[in-house]
Structure 1
Amino acid sequence: MTILVTGARGNVGRRVLERLHAAGHPLRASGRTPAELSVPAGVDTARLDLNGPDTFEAALRGVDKVFLYAESDGAKEFFAAAAEAGVRHVVLLSSSTVGGQDAASDPLAQHHAAVEDALLASALPGTVLRPGAFAGNAFGWSDAIRTGKPVELPYADAHTAPVHEDDIADVAVAALAGEAHLGRTLTLTGPESLTFREQLAVLGELLGREVPVRELTRDEAVERMGRFVPEPVLTSLLSQWAAAVGKPAGTTGTVQDLTGRPGRTFRQWAGENLGAFAAQD
């Protein structure tokens, strides 16, 4: 039976697809425009718009398991179609914001919670992954670091426990491999809590030069980040960061529990991606 991987162009979905392919699983990768997908040889592709129920039946035909990127619009219809198609395991990529203290008023948490609730109501067997901050969020600083400008950000002393996208993919594949994790909700973090300032210091150390930081006020952050971040998402992020100033982020051992090895550190992620931050000649 086939495993359907949604979000196959994304940072996590792409990694999940590569791992499953290497393990020899029959696969189908989906996207709104299948022709734009870059997949390993022999991997089937299908058009799937998670907001378009008319695309569900064909994408799910013959599918046994699904790796699903959370999309609240159309979630109920998707799970109904998956049940009709005979899907017996959904691994849902959600967010740790769902378990946060302010989840009831957090737009990001509400978006992901709606998908989790739809999965639960569907009675489809599922595993929910709730990663925290991605290590790859640091790419947002790359232009400033590469050009020697100060990194401008609000709440520089806010803590996160950045999780490596490879670890999220490894956990997803472990969950898809069998039935041991059916019905579980797994919160994923990196192995250590670091402030944004500390993450930038790691990058600076590896680059061999200081990375200057200029801390923005909240109003400045709203004005600058609001140009490319939707307002509900920005409000959620700023509130999370404000609450995390001076408060080390909790960490979980989920990665080690499911993979048998410690989670990758932010320093490891930074070393693997240092070229994105290096000065250009």
Structure 2
Amino acid sequence: MILISGATGHVGRPLVNELLAAGRKVRALSREPVGADLPAEVEVAATVDLPLDGIDSVFFVLAAFPGGSAEPIARMKAAGIRRIVALSSYSVLDDDPKNMIAVKHRELERHIRETGAEWTFLRPAGGFAATALEWAGQIRTEGVARFPFGDAWTAPVHERDIAAVAARALLTDELVGKTPLFSGPESLSYADRARIIGEVTGEPVRFAELTHDEARQEWLRAGIPPHAVEARLRIFAKLVGTPHEISPVDSYLGRPGLSFAQWVADHADTFRKGTS
């Protein structure tokens, strides 16, 4: 059986579906199991319980464990888990000690290596397409997307592509001991993202650039931890004016990566006026 942490998240849900389609048994972890709304054949458990009996492989998402990776990974080691596939970050390549996203994911990778289990560390580059959901409310009500760096370039990755690479790492031996780094298929500025959302939904979206202080306060109000807010501001500032390097996912999936326009089409109702 395969254990999926963060099973109700952006990557977890499509990964659950990939594994079910492959005929595998899945135990899904959720902070609120009663409202998980996962397929009936999925065994759902509370993240805090971390039940590992009968589990052979684990998909590990750091965000599912606010207390950090040390304790849950130690429990996996004690349980003799054979394989751990972790959603890491390409930021681990940044040795800036102020980049707490990088620091925490380097720590995650170290803890997993020390278990002696087979491992794969997924390192999506270019940002998650799903971060555009932060604009959903303001686009629905005002037709505006606010962000501090209109000319910051990224190559947003569709969560279904991340899930597909994770499934390959869990179901085959091809990615054992590897660190797949892949981006979305196109380099886009944040102003481009806003424009594409308008084009796909048929409801034009205006991009409004925030100052750094305005962005800081908005992100803090949204519940983003202060260290992550400051890391975001530093990271995005470095992306201004330079198209993002493309790291194709093709070699891992045998097909091109899904575009940002495809991602918007998959979530279009989230942005349209009169929806919630």
| TM value normalised by structure 2 | 0.91
CA contact (8 A) 2:100 2:227 kept: yes
Residues 201-240 of structure 1 aligned to structure 2 (within 5 Å): 201-228=195-222, 229-240=224-235
Could you say if the C-alpha distance between residues 74 and 279 of structure 1 is closer, same or farther in structure 2, counting changes exceeding 3 Å?
Answer: closer
**Which residue is equivalent to 1:10?**
9
**Which residue is equivalent to 1:279?**
273
**Which residue is equivalent to 1:52?**
none
CA contact (8 A) 1:4 1:28 kept: yes
Q: CA RMSD in A?
A: 1.8
**1:63 partner SS:** coil
**Which residue is equivalent to 2:138?**
144
1:125 aligned onto 2:125 = no
**Which residue is equivalent to 1:196?**
190
**Which residue is equivalent to 2:61?**
69
Deviation at residue 209 of structure 1 after TM alignment: 4.6
Identical amino acids, percent of aligned pairs: 37
Could you say if the C-alpha distance between residues 28 and 230 of structure 1 is closer, same or farther in structure 2, counting changes exceeding 3 Å?
Answer: same
Distance across 1 between alignment mates of 2:161 and 2:21:
16
Could you say if the C-alpha distance between residues 125 and 72 of structure 1 is closer, same or farther in structure 2, counting changes exceeding 3 Å?
Answer: farther
1:108 aligned onto 2:101 = yes
1:264 aligned onto 2:263 = no
CA-to-partner distance for each residue in 1:69-94, whole Å, 9 max, x for gaps? 12473523333322332311110011
**1:226 partner SS:** helix
**1:191 partner SS:** coil
Distance across 2 between alignment mates of 1:257 and 1:215:
36
Could you say if the C-alpha distance between residues 61 and 271 of structure 1 is closer, same or farther in structure 2, counting changes exceeding 3 Å?
Answer: same
**Which residue is equivalent to 1:134?**
128
Q: Where in structure 1 are there 5+ consecutive unaligned residues? A: 50-54
Distance across 1 between alignment mates of 2:38 and 2:137:
29
Which of 237, 240, 243 does residue 248 from structure 1 map onto?
243
Could you say if the C-alpha distance between residues 145 and 75 of structure 1 is closer, same or farther in structure 2, counting changes exceeding 3 Å?
Answer: closer
**Which residue is equivalent to 1:157?**
151
The list of structure 1 runs, each at least 4 consecutive aligned residues, that deviate by more than 6 angstroms after superposition, is none
CA contact (8 A) 1:130 1:188 kept: yes
Paired residues, number: 271
**Which residue is equivalent to 1:178?**
172
Deviation at residue 258 of structure 1 after TM alignment: 1.5
Q: Where in structure 2 are there 5+ consecutive unaligned residues? A: none
Could you say if the C-alpha distance between residues 35 and 147 of structure 1 is closer, same or farther in structure 2, counting changes exceeding 3 Å?
Answer: closer
